[in-house]
Structure 1
Amino acid sequence: MKNKWLGFACLLPLLSGCNDANSSISASSDTVSKQQIDTIITNINKQYPDASNELKQNVLNTAVRAIENLVFVKGGSFEMGDFGAPCEIPSGTINRIDWSPDAQCLSSPSSKLRGANHLHKVTLDSYSMSAYETSFMDMEWMRQINGLPVADNKWDGYHITEGEVIERDSEDYENLLTRRKNQIAGTKNWQQAKDYCQWLGNLTVLPFDLPTEAQWEYTARNRGEKRYYATNNGYRQLLGSGYYNPSTGYRVDYTDEEANSDTGLETYIGRWPANPLGIYGMSNNISEWTNDWYSPTYYQESPELNPQGPKTGEEKVMRDAGGATMTFVRIPNKTQEDRYYSSNSFRCSLQQKTPAIVLN
């Protein structure tokens, strides 16, 4: 599995041939143009003139990688919401369902409560979605260069120390970096996710933002297919589990190579195979923020073209297609928490109809 988010060529500021010789930071990329990289460098130097070259370099790496990791999603129409399931599942497990046109039952008991039972047509323009959830380290570079505290809880043994932050020159911080460097970013509130995506937009001069709820579902369902899980094959094949095969009458156990999900929180980026679009981690028990306010009745009044959610609300929509949830399940969440939750993360999207990267 190739995890592009782990890095890219030319990380050293003194390496020649990457960018303007007058700049103290530089980068190169197989896909992001020199012109785009120069724009990012100019904006970093303009917005953060007093930051160290090392911090500027890490921010540059983060911005270029964000563009590299975008997956272009061609727009189209689909039926959004709970598209139904057979009342009796032949495999004997909710993790392995095949949709059929004569499905008579709702797929999830939460569908009526949260309004997902109102199946409705949605048509989306093309957009791009990040292949990965935002990493803890990318979030940390953004917060550090903006003078914000570390986005994690300070612990005293097994208890969170209320009102205290992790100091960046401390042993706690060094231990945190060791633990979290390949993990997703946790959040305390929706605004932190929103701010990060818009920060990328300011640096790159590209319309980065959180995805809409409709964009998230369309992506998770492989451009609106009737898939229950956002995995490589639409099934949730848990490590160490199996299913009943009605054709043979025997149980089939998944091998380690066939597994594409686990029962716990999957905070490590890119562990399991991507969905058919090339998007990782949309079925990993991590809830992701979307841009939309939540309303259980919104699907009844949603416009067909590019729905943006209600204009106001008290909770935001989170989405996840893992554990007890499926690709269409809506999760309302209050916008402000009292602590950081590793189970609440996000990925950014690009709100334009054309790809950010145009290959020759």
Structure 2
Amino acid sequence: GSFEMGDFGAPCEIPSGTINRIDWSPDAQCLSSPSSKLRGANHLHKVTLDSYSMSAYETSFMDMEWMRQINGLPVADNKWDGYHIIEGEVVERGSEDYEYLLTRRKNQIAGTKNWQQAKDYCQWLGNLTVLPFDLPTEAQWEYTARNRGEKRYYATNNGYRQLLGSGYYNPSTGYRVDYTDEEANSDTGLETYIGRWPANPLGIYGMSNNISEWTNDWYSPTYYQESPELNPQGPKTGEEKVMRDAGGATMTFVRIPNKTQEDRYYSSNSFRCSLQQKTPAIVLN
């Protein structure tokens, strides 16, 4: 499908008074985010994508651990001494720390130290299944988060960010409305448990959970000005990779440049894989 990629604007004054609850209008005169101009997202441009498939969930810690164990790689997590990371040491498989880690991280997303770890996992999955798995492109991520490119500010079930224990002012009634626990679809902290909140309308979970996800693209603040319409892949080279997230202070179109190498594992930096072919995979029982 086709869509307009980038910051599609927002009302200069939000009727509800909260940035978490915005309805788009064609009369929108302001940028939705102050970072849009700095990072080039203010350059709205048409993008057309061939069909692809996106993983419904972010990669889990156990998914990553199976891959790394099979390939003789160390455990993808930091070794701790109380509240402090022990630099240069890894968690040994079979140790008490490892067993505790398996219990604690079983249903949580995989943290990463760098972009290459995410890339390697998706390509390993491709080699294992003989299917063209890879990281999603930045355009694929945004198209999915925005429910096939709709003008949605958050990648939640309804396009709003309804925080647990919060509410908003309803200009129609003049009263404050508090969300019930059943209506909440996000939280203020890192939502590291997979599938905790409802999926977006496409059935994709965790795209608005304060977890930044790696994409395949190199970052350039001017790329949107030169991007091809069909299946953009990002610049050919760069120094930072594009990460995407639609939670917290970010929205579905916000670009997050990040250096490709870190000195530790960050639970806030994860990824999901995309199937880069026009037809769905056929599962044989």
> Which interval holds the TM-score relative to the shorter structure?
over 0.9
Distance 2:94 2:187 in 1: 35
- Structure of greater relative contact order (alpha carbons < 8 Å, 6+ residues apart): 2
Percent identity between the aligned chains?
99
CA deviation after TM superposition for structure 1 residue 159, in Å:
1.0
Q: Could you tell me which runs of 5 or more consecutive residues in structure 1 were left unpaired when the two chains were aligned.
A: 1-75
Distance 1:162 1:253 in 2: 45
CA deviation after TM superposition for structure 1 residue 359, in Å:
10
1:124 is matched with 49
Q: Is residue 87 of structure 1 aligned with residue 8 of structure 2?
A: no
Q: Please list every run of at least 4 consecutive aligned residues from structure 1 whose deviation after the TM superposition is greater than 2 angstroms.
A: 357-360
Note the alpha carbon deviations across 1:238-295, whole angstroms, 9 max, x for none. 0001111111000000000000000000000000000000000000000000000000
Q: Is residue 157 of structure 1 aligned with residue 44 of structure 2?
A: no
Note the alpha carbon deviations across 1:14-37, whole angstroms, 9 max, x for none. xxxxxxxxxxxxxxxxxxxxxxxx
Distance 2:122 2:256 in 1: 21
Q: Secondary structure at the match of 2:33?
A: coil
Note the alpha carbon deviations across 1:326-354, whole angstroms, 9 max, x for none. 00000000000000000000000000011
- 2:273 aligned to 339, 343, 348, which one? 348
Larger Rg: 1
- Alignment map for 1:34-45 (pairs within 5 Å): none
CA deviation after TM superposition for structure 1 residue 357, in Å:
3.0
Q: Could you tell me which runs of 5 or more consecutive residues in structure 2 were left unpaired when the two chains were aligned.
A: none
Higher share of residues assigned helix: 1
CA deviation after TM superposition for structure 1 residue 229, in Å:
0.1
Distance 2:39 2:230 in 1: 21
Q: Secondary structure at the match of 1:299?
A: helix
- 1:199 aligned to 119, 124, 130, which one? 124
TM-score by length of 1: 0.78
Note the alpha carbon deviations across 1:162-198, whole angstroms, 9 max, x for none. 1100000110000100100000000000000000000
How many residues are matched?
285
CA deviation after TM superposition for structure 1 residue 319, in Å:
0.1
Q: Secondary structure at the match of 2:168?
A: strand
CA deviation after TM superposition for structure 1 residue 358, in Å:
7.4
Distance 2:210 2:283 in 1: 33
Distance 1:128 1:157 in 2: 41
Alpha-carbon distance change, 87 to 359 in structure 1, aligned in 2, over 3 angstroms? farther
Alpha-carbon distance change, 79 to 281 in structure 1, aligned in 2, over 3 angstroms? same
- 1:257 aligned to 178, 182, 199, which one? 182
1:247 is matched with 172
Q: Secondary structure at the match of 2:3?
A: strand
Distance 2:133 2:2 in 1: 23
2:154 is matched with 229
Instruction: Say what the alpha-carbon RMSD is for the aligned residues.
Output: 1.1
Note the alpha carbon deviations across 1:104-136, whole angstroms, 9 max, x for none. 000000000000000000000010000000000
2:27 is matched with 102
Distance 1:358 1:315 in 2: 36
TM-score by length of 2: 0.99
Distance 2:44 2:107 in 1: 38
Distance 1:257 1:301 in 2: 44
Note the alpha carbon deviations across 1:40-77, whole angstroms, 9 max, x for none. xxxxxxxxxxxxxxxxxxxxxxxxxxxxxxxxxxxx00
Distance 2:75 2:283 in 1: 35
Distance 1:273 1:267 in 2: 14
Q: Secondary structure at the match of 1:174?
A: helix
Q: Secondary structure at the match of 1:125?
A: coil
Note the alpha carbon deviations across 1:182-225, whole angstroms, 9 max, x for none. 00000000000000000000010000000000000000000000
